[in-house]
Amino acid sequence: MTIIYALIIGGVFGFVLDRIGATNPQYIIKMLNLTNLHLAKAILLAIGVASILMFLGQMLGLVDVAHMSVKAAEIGVFVGGILLGIGWAIAGFCPGTGVAAAATGRKDALFFIAGGLLGAAAYMATYPAAKAMGLMAKIGGGKVTLGTVPGAKYDGLTAIPGDVLGIVLGIVFVIVAFALPDRLSGSAAGATQPAE
């Protein structure tokens, strides 16, 4: 049954990624050089909507709290995030959008995937060294949420009710999505018409 779910949810995810332009490195790069924030606004709205629905669903007993999967906060998360950011700007793809982009016929995405497979293999080879360097040192208790989510197996960084905080932050994400201008960089004169 889980395989059926994987087919449906994965399929819809790939479809939507393509329809919001996330499989197009043009949109990714223009988001990152702040000349077209269409994608950033869509992502912020998505996070807000998903957060509100999930925590509201938990409060109403409709969403299983045990489905949450919180990753550990470690030094490596920050360092790895920086590395990912650098490569993301160079290539214009991240792991999910790169794979989806290859499926839409982008040849550069195939090279991204090949590099990615080698990069993942390089991490498999150097994992003990990364661990020895202290990159897996926990921050703020590791697998924690900002508030304390009722019934969750994860600790809260604060005692604030995690579900309420999740809804509030979700609303903040939605507001930021609407408040964000279409572009932040470049002169108004240069902003006459986006390339697409």
Among 59, 63, 161, 176, binds another protein (CB under 8 A): 63
Among 59, 80, 161, 176, binds another protein (CB under 8 A): 80
Minimum Å gap between C-beta 39 and another protein is 7
Q: What are the backbone dihedrals phi and psi of residue 147, each rounded to the nearest 5 degrees, phi first?
A: -105, 180
C-alpha distances out from residue 41 to 1, 48, 77, 164, 190, Å? 34, 11, 24, 23, 21
Minimum Å gap between C-beta 154 and another protein is 8
Distance CA(168)–CA(55), nearest Å, equals 10
Give the number of other Cβ atoms within 10 Å of residue 146's Cβ: 14
Among 11, 134, 150, 151, binds another protein (CB under 8 A): 11
161 binds another protein (CB under 8 A): no
3-state secondary structure of 125: helix
38 binds another protein (CB under 8 A): yes
137 binds another protein (CB under 8 A): no
Tell me which residues in 94-133 interact with another protein (CB under 8 A): 94-109, 111-124, 127-128, 130
